[in-house]
Amino acid sequence: MMTMQNNALSWSGQGNVHYSLIPIVSVYTFTNDMGRPRITHHDRRSKLFPLRLSPRETAFFSRKARDLGESVASVLRNGGMLYVKMRGKDGSQKRKEKKQ
């Protein structure tokens, strides 16, 4: 079997010559900046936080995450951050009110 890429001519072993209507293009390229960019050490998610949920809570978060087009982990992560920001620096307004 002989293939010439310059004029897109291919030769099969049975004496038939085939001409391609399009030129043969190599699509495999390798560069240093291919793929997903590296995540900095500070932004890497490497710690697990065990969380127990009831079946009802699991179904609720799964349904809402699917509606939002996000993962359940992302919804819980962002929801936890929002909760802490809304409640104050230490996460509880009740303690703050008692101190004043």
In the predicted model, is pLDDT for residue 14 greater than 80?
A: no
The reply to whether the predicted model has a pTM over 0.85 is no
For residue 53, what pLDDT is reported? 94
- Per-residue pLDDT tens over the stretch 15-61: 666 666 777 766 666 666 667 788 888 888 888 889 999 999 999 99
DSSP string covering 41-56: GGG-----------HH
Give the whole-angstrom CA distance, residue 80 versus residue 91. Answer: 10
Residue with tokens 């982990």: 73
Give the whole-angstrom CA distance, residue 38 versus residue 56. Answer: 37
- Per-residue pLDDT tens over the stretch 67-78: 999 999 999 999
Beta bridge partners of 4: 9
